[in-house]
Structure formats: structure tokens, C-alpha cells
Amino acid sequence: MDVDLLAAALRRDSADLELYAGVLSASLADSLPPGAVRVSRRRSVARRLAGREGPVDGLDVVLGEQRLSLRTDRGRTAGEICHEVRGIVLSRRQVGLDEWIGALARSLADAAASSARAREAVERFLS
């Protein structure tokens, strides 16, 4: 799996962070196994009453022992890479968007190399 190609696919449309988080979360949720992607949304009272979802403000991707978290708030992005074993966080590191995307690409490529199901998911994501 070409990590650079995967990272480029993950980086596209990252200029508008709220839109990027929404598109990325939908793409990953459709491509990866259930439970691997968790999305949190910011919902105002008006949106709740109207039954509408709010914009994505958080994304967690769990691949193996790595949890990659991305949070957006008013145009600012905070990335975090955690080493997690059985729900216990052993290490946590704050990173910028480019480093977070690179780590996600490497994790997806590693998962694709070790699992046929993950490889199919990554191929669906790239197409």
C-alpha cells in the first residue's frame, strides 16, 4: 500500500476543516469495520428540535492499538495520537493536522497489509 498516495487522498479538501471532518468521517465510517470510527457532532437546541445533525466536531479512528483523534472548533484543529491497549491510554501526543493525516495513512496502510478486509476498505476509500 502506497502511504503517500493514501496521505494525499486523506489531505484533499482539508482547507475547510469542518467540511473536511464531515467528509472524512463519512468516508472512513463507510470504509472501515463497525466501531473503528466514532464521530461526535455539535448540535444546537434548534438543530435538535428540528431533528437535524450538527456539524462534525470530533472524530476518533481506532486501528489496532492506536487511536487517532481529530477535534475542530471554530476553524482550529487539534490532532491527537494515542497508544491504547484494552481501553487504557498508555501514551498521548498532540499533533498538527499534517502529522495526524500522515499517522492515519500509515495506520491504514499497516492495517491493509495485515488484513484482506482492511485492504478492501482502504481500496474503497481511495476510489
Alpha-carbon distance of 31 to 37, in angstroms, equals 10
Q: Please tell me the pTM assigned to this model.
A: 0.72
pLDDT, mean of residues 1-9:
59
Q: List beta partners, residue 39.
A: 59
pLDDT at residue 26, as a whole number:
74
- Grid look-up 479512528 returns 61
Tens-place pLDDT, residues 54-64: 777 788 888 88
Tens-place pLDDT, residues 15-25: 556 666 666 77
